[in-house]
Amino acid sequence: MSGHGAVLEITIPRRDGKLGIGLNQANRVTDLGPTIKDGLKMWDMVVSVDDVSCGSRTMAEVMADMPKKDKHVLTVLRLDAAPPSSKTTTTSEMEGWLQKQSPAFPNPWQNRKCQLKDGRLWYFANDDASQPKSIALADVTAISVADLGRGEFKMVATGRTYMFRAPNKAGLFSWVKALQLAQMKVRRRRHRHLHAHGSTQRAMS
């Protein structure tokens, strides 16, 4: 998944012989159970257990081949913003279906369900996608109309340009406006954070 995150190691004890974690097929935490006390968070992705990589297997499959221990060390990837559900719409700033151009030759256009939320544009392959990808607006330098007639707009980020196509001109203008406004909010938050950090540093010097 694109975007920022951190890799963490979290020790989880067995309780009544079980870890008590609920995960989806992508090994993302969907039910914390009692592990909320151990530092695990919703949508953490488990990438290994006791240094054994999960790879394409589920965590349950990996642990089935392991001896039972009182504690297990999970290596998890934690996003700085949890992905929304593809079926949850109440908290997104904007959502709808767009076409996204694949970066792989011959660059076909693919239908993607998109949600603008928490300073990111999330996009899903379908309604039931468990692993959405995202574009952090903090990494985007420009958002503009690319082809008015075709309803296309582009998001220029470090090292890549993302191309999207709206179903009509009204949708094109709505998405570009919403994305630009969201980007302005992200930049303002960053500016306030840097200003506050700089003030703190000066006060301490």
- pLDDT tens, residue by residue, 154-180: 999 988 999 999 999 889 989 998 999
Q: Is 12 helix (H, G, I), strand (E, B) or coil?
A: strand
Dihedral pair phi/psi, residue 121, rounded to 5°: -100, 110
Q: CA-to-CA distance for 114 and 163, rounded, in angstroms?
A: 13
Q: How far apart are the first and last CA of the chain?
A: 40
Q: What pLDDT, in 10s, does the model give residues 25-65?
A: 667 787 877 766 678 887 777 888 998 888 767 888 888 88
The whole-number pLDDT of residue 40 equals 85
Q: Among 1.10.3720.10, 3.30.70.1380, 3.30.70.1710, 2.30.42.10, what is the CATH number of 5-79?
A: 2.30.42.10
Instruction: Tell me if 115 sits within 8 A of 94, measured CB to CB.
Output: yes
CA angle centred on 81, ends 77 and 86, rounded to 5°: 100
> pLDDT of 83-134, one tens digit each?
665 554 445 689 999 999 998 889 999 999 999 998 999 998 876 566 788 9
**Token representation of residue 182:** 């969201």
Beta partners for 135? 121
Q: Which fold has domain 94-199?
A: PH-domain like (2.30.29)
Q: What is the rounded CA–CA span in Å between residue 152 and residue 29?
A: 36
**Where are the domains positioned within the chain?**
5-79, 94-199
Tell me the C-alpha distance between 121 and 186, whole Å: 12
In order of 186, 190, 205, the CA distances from 200 in angstroms are 21, 15, 9
Task: Return the residue matching tokens 């700089």.
Answer: 198
